[in-house]
Each structure stands twice: as C-alpha cells, then as structure tokens.
Amino acid sequence: MRMAIIGAGGVGGYFGARLVAAGEDVTFVARGAHLAALQQHGLRVQSPKGDLHLPDVNATGEIASVGRVDVVLLTVKMYDLESAAATLSPLIGPDTVVVTLQNGVEAVDIVSHHVGRDHVAGGVAYIAAVIAEAGLIRHTSLDALIFGELDGRRSDRLLALEAACLRAGFSARLSEDITVDLWSKFSRLSVFSGMTAVTRSPMGVLRSDPELLAMLQAACEETALVARARGIALPENLMQQIMRMVDELPHHAKSSMLEDLERGRRLELPWLSGAAVRLGREVGIPTPIHGFIAAVLKPHVNGHT
C-alpha cells in the first residue's frame, strides 16, 4: 500500500511516523523548514507511547513527484484545504481514496469538489500533537483514527488502511456512518478548541473550575442540538462520552487551536465555533457560547506572524 501524507504537522507527522516504523510505504508532502529538516535529518517523534527517530523518510514539497498512491491522508489545516485539494490530481488512480482528517464537518464537500466524491472518505483524528520544532513532532495524548466511506460500505481499500494502522500500533476503526463520527468529534472539538483558546488554559484548569466546566458542557450541548436539528443521529450518550474524555485528558492537554494562538498562527476558528454559529443559524438553533468564543477570538483569527 502506497500512502501520501499531505501536511506533515502534528497529525500527519505522528501517524505517518508510526506507519513508516511499521514498514508502510509513506511519502510526506511538507514545506519550509519542516520539509528541509525531514529531508536532511529525518523525522523524530516524542511520545508517551515511545519516541521514534526515522533518519531516512520520503519527503517532498512537490505533490506531482509522488505519483499515484492507494491512500492520501489529507491533514492540512482547514484554511489551507481548498488550495491543497486543488493539487491532488497527480496522486489519484482508479481506486485511490483521500481521507479527510480536518477539524470540523465541511472538509468532505470541499475535497469532493476537486477529486470526485468516489475518491473521498471522511476521517476523524483524535490526537494531541504539534510540531515542536522543524523535524520534531511532540505527541502528548490520544492517538486514534476513524474513517469511513461516505455510503457506509466496508470497502477493501479502507479495510486495508485499518489493518495498516493497527499494525502501526495506534487505534483505528472503519466507520459505517462517518457523518455521525464527524459530528460527534465536532461536538467535542469545537468546544475543547474554543474553551482552551478563549481562556488560554489547558483542560485541567477548565475541569477544576465549576463555572468553566458548566460553560464547556453547555457549549457541547449547543453543538449537539445543531447536529440533531440537521438530522444527524448522534448517540444518546454523547454527553457522557464527552465528559468522560474531559475527565481523562491530562491536566496539561491543550487544543491545537490554543497552540496556534500561543504561537501567533492562524486559527481554525471559522470552521469550529464559527461553524457552530453559522450552521446553527441555518436550522434556527441559538449558540450563544460558541458566539461568544467566536467573537472574542476573532481579532486573532489571522495570527500575527
């Protein structure tokens, strides 16, 4: 199985490194200082599950040089997705699948416009990992992928990807209703990202303060109401699942949006709390907490570096 990972940041770099270490044929598409480090020194991962140093990885800045692959793991940020999706055609063979691993719930439609819906699978990544420095991924918690065909079938191509991920030592699951999984994550992540960023605090601070914890829970309920109003059959115990995750995350766990805010980078706010507000308005569901988060963080949305 040949794989290309478009965007070798925290998500793509971590999962790609585990796949390479397990013997999979993976090419990373990256840019800038991170690409130079991958080409010159390889890829390093610091992780509570065990560190990795892969001194010789396939890395390029030119998608056209990769050739056709079986699987594309598309891990760029939402603000880069449209431009990245427009460059994917050299990778696409008759049965190539592009797995969208963006935050939010709108990536599938964006990518389908460029490569065709038959070549797209929805994906969900649960992980806390960032580029600590060029060539180094720092992983702190969680490492799970969920992906699925848009029609729910258990295709050979995604069964093969699931098997490769399990061999690589991280959790993977082939979903039979990826839309539900996408919205289930959105209900968690839009709030986790927004609340940690707007308070500039890790999860331990949020769950130890009763008022902040209540605010977090209410924001989760807003997103779940939007999903259900849009016909998404979220699990009845979703809130219990979310609060269990809140309890189990390490005290120091931060969202990628807080990491970006602290580094002066662009924020995915329009596709997280901003999307909760916009999608809620379409179905008549008020989202006051997400509206507050989106308004307070709006001055920082384009970064300052």
Q: What is the pLDDT of residues 161-178, one digit of tens each?
A: 999 999 999 999 999 999
- Same-domain check for residues 293 and 153: no
Cα dihedral sign, 136-13-90-86: negative
CA distance 185 to 165: 20
Q: What is the pLDDT of residues 43-72, one digit of tens each?
A: 999 999 999 999 999 999 999 999 999 999
Backbone angles phi, psi at 62, to 5 degrees: -120, 110
Q: What is the pLDDT of residues 124-166, one digit of tens each?
A: 999 989 999 999 999 988 899 999 999 999 999 999 999 999 9
Q: Which domain holds residue 252?
A: 180-300
β-pairing, 52-54 with 43-46?
antiparallel
| Residue 305: pLDDT over 80 | no
CATH assignment at residue 150: 3.40.50.720
Query: What's the total number of domains in the chain?
Result: 2
| Residue 80: pLDDT over 80 | yes
Question: Model pTM?
Answer: 0.92
| Residue 206: pLDDT over 80 | yes
Q: Which of 225-234, 240-249, 270-279 has the lowest mean pLDDT?
A: 240-249
Last residue of a domain, one of 147, 176, 205: 176
pLDDT at 304: 83
pLDDT at 228: 96
Q: Which of 14-28, 50-64, 208-222, 245-259 has the lowest mean pLDDT?
A: 245-259
Last residue of a domain, one of 153, 176, 199: 176
| Residue 294: pLDDT over 90 | yes
